[in-house]
A = this chain, B = another copy of it.
Amino acid sequence: MGTRERRRREVAGREQLFLGAARDLIRQEGLLNLQMSRVAEMCDYAVGTLYQHFVSKEDLLVALASEEAQERVDMFQRVAQWKASTRDRMLGFAVADMLYARRSPEHFRLLQFAFTEVVWTAAPAARRQACIEANAPLRQATLELIDEAVGNGDLDLRGLRPDEFCLAPWALAIGMHSIVHTKGLLEQHGISEPYHLMLRHISELLNGLGWKPLADSTDHAALDALAERICKEVLHAYIC
């Protein structure tokens, strides 16, 4: 009988429950104050039960980071299906990142923490793998776009492999997220709209990488209009 199967589903559902509670607690009181016992309590389960799902706090954190990846993946896939030039879609990924970061700043703080040696190393290997895989579609979408751009002549990789190429925008985005989410750094630089700048800089990077059609770096209005258009046409469902 399917009893065993039903049970499995119940248990899987509980995993979501725990992750949701953890997310809420983090939202309310910050990553710093997250306590395993509070997570269990909030779900009306004993701590021991929580530990059947996650062998350690680190395990839970990485699992949470994996689960939250899905929404960003959805946004990327939406952009990937957009009918527009390869270059505009590449910018679209950046816009997606920007919107997502505004919607869920906590997610980036969590990612930043989860990828830290201390946490990452302490999480079980299987969970780490799952986290990498949960984020893999972002990479996949980017690689496919790069292939398409190469195929139709928008882009010449100049001897790089697609993976090597996409490291550039990827690093720029990750770095920007790190900077934005470290309290006190931007204030010092007097920067108020970091993600707006990120778009500009990614556009300039794409110019430097020779992704056609090259954009006129002077024409700020055009870039803003493009970003606006991406928000309206493609990512309207995700605007905060």
Q: Which residues of A does B touch, CB under 8 Å?
A: 30-32, 109, 112-113, 115-118, 120-122, 128-129, 132, 136, 139, 158-161, 163-164, 167-168, 170-176, 178-179, 181-185, 188-191, 194, 197-198, 200-201, 203-210, 217-218, 220
Q: In the complex, what distance in Å separates the CA atom of A115 from the CA atom of B179?
A: 9
Q: In the complex, what distance in Å separates the CA atom of A139 from the CA atom of B182?
A: 16
- The interface residues of chain B lying within 8 Å CB-to-CB of A210 are 217
Q: In the complex, what distance in Å separates the CA atom of A163 from the CA atom of B173?
A: 17
Of the candidates A116, A159, A190, A203, the one having the most CB atoms from chain B within 10 angstroms of its own CB is A116
Contacts A171-B172, A171-B176 known; 16 new A-B pairs at CB < 8 A: A30-B121, A31-B117, A32-B122, A117-B183, A132-B185, A160-B197, A160-B200, A167-B189, A168-B205, A170-B179, A171-B173, A174-B174, A174-B178, A174-B179, A175-B176, A208-B208
Q: In the complex, what distance in Å separates the CA atom of A200 from the CA atom of B170?
A: 14
From the candidates B163, B171, B176, B181, name the one contacting A190 in the complex (CB within 8 A). Answer: B163
Q: A184 touching B112 by the CB < 8 A rule?
A: no
